[in-house]
Chain A
Amino acid sequence: MISSKSVSGLNGHDFTRGVMPRVKSGRFYSYVLRGSAVLFSAVLVLFVWSIIRQSWPAWSHSGLSIITGTNWAPADSQFGALPLILATLITAGVALLFAVPIGIGTALTLNYIVPPRIASPLTVLVELLAAVPSVVYGLWGLNVLVPWMSTTIQPWLAGLTSGGWPFSGNAIGLGLVLASTVLSIMVLPTIVAISRDVIAAVPRDLIEGALSLGATRSQVLLKVVVPSAKIGLLGAVSLGAGRALGETVAVAMVIGSSPSMPHSLFSLGSTLASTIATQFIDSSPQQLAALGALAMILMFLTASVNAIARALVQRGVKG
């Protein structure tokens, strides 16, 4: 007969509670782990607190008009960041609009369509895209894409709507549409790399089952693979969104650095991150506080994207 002690596990601990047993020899290791967990959370809390403290003079000067105001003129103590928030959301949104279908499509292709001997060099190429530093994307955008945009792409876009919204205004290359283009190329490798992994993890028997029922390849990919990998794909998109919202240098170089309210995709703009990067040098203490407020708004935006993705994942798990 088996004793009750041996059933409940090592030293009488019940593993089903999800807590590791405390063995004397493992105590030091567990302290190190707990210590680093506490330290990391403490760093995050202090970090957020210091940004709030730094930006406090701006909030107490302008209040919520920082979020609703449309005039960003820090030298005249005007801290209306709405144009910056809109430019951030528009560039990230348009970038994802292109990067998500292309990225997931690329991941499906690499996993299921092309043979491995072609897929693996292609994968390396896509991953190399992620290794290019953002300032290089900015330079490329400035020197290669700007002339091409202003002479070829923008006139063509304007022709589509015969100069109407959203392709109205002066076509000078720089602006929201160019920033979105550069961003979509920059977030693509992130989306491809993660989607490729989650798609590869879709159980083989699901796919074979669908095929044996007579499903076509496109039906299998769109009705079986993508739905069963949707939680992981959502994670890929939210990471891509985080990068698009926070990208700084490349955007600062191609967006035109003008804090104007976006009227069309040809408008010049300035995102939250690019404004911080271009204006912190030579700022008075009050301007620095306003830039701190922008940092707070940006953190809130990226945290919200994260939270929404988490909520969707939770729903996905339950459903």
Chain B
Amino acid sequence: MKINIRGSFAVVVTTAGLFASLSIPAGAATVKLDPILASDTQLSTTATVTSAGSTFDTPLFSAAYPIYSSRTHNATVGAYGAGGSGAGQTAIMSNTADFAASDVPLTQANIDAATTISSRGTLADYVQVPVALGGVAIAFHNTAITTNKLYKANGFIVTSAILAKIYTGAITKWNDSAICAANVKWVVKKACALPNANITVVGRSDSSGTTYIFRDYLHTAQPSILTAAPSKSTFVTSTNGFVGGSGNQGVATDLENTNNSLGYVEYSYVLLNKSLDAALVVNAANKAVAISQAGIAAAAATKPSVDSTNFSIVNASGATSYPISGYSWVMLRKASAASSLAQAQLTVKLVDWLAHSAPAKSGLTFGQDVAAQQGYVALPTAAQNVTRNALKTITYNGAQVLK
């Protein structure tokens, strides 16, 4: 059913996009597109583009590709191969995809480890640009809390210290003194109204970019509690008895089915699963904030010059910043390995289109407009410019492709 809605929605948007592109000559007088975006659908000859990687980006790419290809007559945009970030990194290193998506940027260590791929090169051979922005929600299922009349007015608040202690096993009860201290409104007549029940902790059973952002947050905010450097490695170990869910949906389903459980999922999964509640998280400015597109955008705005080696926006300053946020990345070859100029053009123009929002009142739908509709947060203008400038460094046979 959901797929049908999404499918028919894509058709509507596609049709709207078609009409809009036909009306560009008339509309051009009122809305001025920059020259690159104005020619985003112009290809010298027919070409095909292939892409693969992170499942985090699947909803965005599957909704955005049909819109782009319907506007670009010479282009064939192949279906996105959602095999995970690791598969995407392998695909771009071995030149089997024109571009790949990964939740965490490729590092020199990743490249060094891929000894079986002869075309892997070095980190300098790749261009990595942000393409999606999202947040990680602290989702929980505790009917004793959510049916309490205190919940509606005060929510349920967690801090980085509480989360780090829950995920290292130091906090096991919902009415732990640290949790009660963070939720002062729940302390009525010196008695903590939070339930005296064990927390069933849910993590990911697979390695995941969502886990990376969450670990990055805990390590950045509480380095003395979660000492390990951020990684995609699961929290579910052989000794702690945490529940493992496969993928964001797996975690969401485990939470729905288990009372007294707490876990972390990508923001759109809280939106999709109405029965899940998201905790308020205390940010670096000591304010408890709910997860929202505005809060994630505020966190991203604190670091305008994001790049693939300095990308972390967790625990961002600012009173409205939601502290567990992060980017997803697209990786391309700096010297395009495309078989024709048109293919190189299509690759770069598609990524440029994906990373931009259409100007207001232009009637067009660009990649970041689709992102906002699909539960992501549109990239801040600064990040869109970062992407544009990085894409300009890509060459085909020594000549700049995007111009």
* B257 close to A257 (CB less than 8 A): no
A279 CB–B CB distance under 8 Å: yes
* B257 close to A256 (CB less than 8 A): no
A147 in complex: contacting residue of B198, B231, B253, B257, CB < 8 Å? B257
Nearest Cβ on chain B to A129's Cβ, whole angstroms: 24
* B241 close to A170 (CB less than 8 A): yes
A117-152 Cβ-contact flags toward B at 8 Å (1 or 0)? 000000000000000000000000011001100100
B243 CB–A CB distance under 8 Å: yes
Q: List, in ascending order, chain A residues with CB within 8 A of B243's CB.
A: 172, 174, 256-258, 268
* A75 close to B238 (CB less than 8 A): no
* B257 close to A260 (CB less than 8 A): no
B375 CB–A CB distance under 8 Å: no
Q: List, in ascending order, chain A residues with CB within 8 A of B308's CB.
A: none
Please report which residues of chain A, range 67-118, place their CB below 8 angstroms from some CB of chain B when the two chains form the complex: 70-76, 80, 83
* A75 close to B231 (CB less than 8 A): yes
* A173 close to B232 (CB less than 8 A): no
The interface centre, meaning the residue of A72, A173, A282, A287 with most chain B CB atoms within 10 A of its CB, is: A282
Q: A146-B257, A256-B244, A268-B241 are in contact. Are A282 and B85 (CB under 8 A)?
A: yes
A278 CB–B CB distance under 8 Å: yes
* B55 close to A258 (CB less than 8 A): no
* A174 close to B86 (CB less than 8 A): no
Stretch of B154-162, B203-211, B356-364 at the chain-chain interface: B203-211
Q: List, in ascending order, chain B residues with CB within 8 A of A174's CB.
A: 243, 254, 257-258
* B257 close to A70 (CB less than 8 A): no
The CA of A170 and the CA of B198, in the complex, are separated in Å by 9
* B55 close to A281 (CB less than 8 A): yes
* A258 close to B200 (CB less than 8 A): no
B87 CB–A CB distance under 8 Å: yes
Please report which residues of chain B, range 188-209, place their CB below 8 angstroms from some CB of chain A when the two chains form the complex: 198, 200, 205-208
B374 CB–A CB distance under 8 Å: no
The CA of A72 and the CA of B237, in the complex, are separated in Å by 7
Query: How many residues in A have their beta carbons less than 8 Å from beta carbons of B?
Result: 38
A284 CB–B CB distance under 8 Å: yes
A270 CB–B CB distance under 8 Å: yes
Nearest Cβ on chain B to A237's Cβ, whole angstroms: 31
B263 CB–A CB distance under 8 Å: no
Q: List, in ascending order, chain A residues with CB within 8 A of B257's CB.
A: 142-143, 146-147, 173-174
Q: A172-B258, A281-B87 are in contact. Are A261 and B198 (CB under 8 A)?
A: no
A178-214 Cβ-contact flags toward B at 8 Å (1 or 0)? 0000000000000000000000000000000000000
Instruction: Give A residues with C-beta under 8 Å from B.
Output: 70-76, 80, 83, 142-143, 146-147, 150, 170, 172-174, 252-253, 256-261, 267-268, 270, 277-279, 281-285, 287
Instruction: Give B residues with C-beta under 8 Å from A.
Output: 55, 83-87, 113-114, 116, 198, 200, 205-208, 231-234, 236-246, 250, 253-254, 257-259, 261
Given contacts A73-B237, A258-B241, A260-B237, 6 further A-B contacts (CB under 8 A): A71-B239, A73-B238, A75-B231, A173-B257, A260-B241, A281-B86
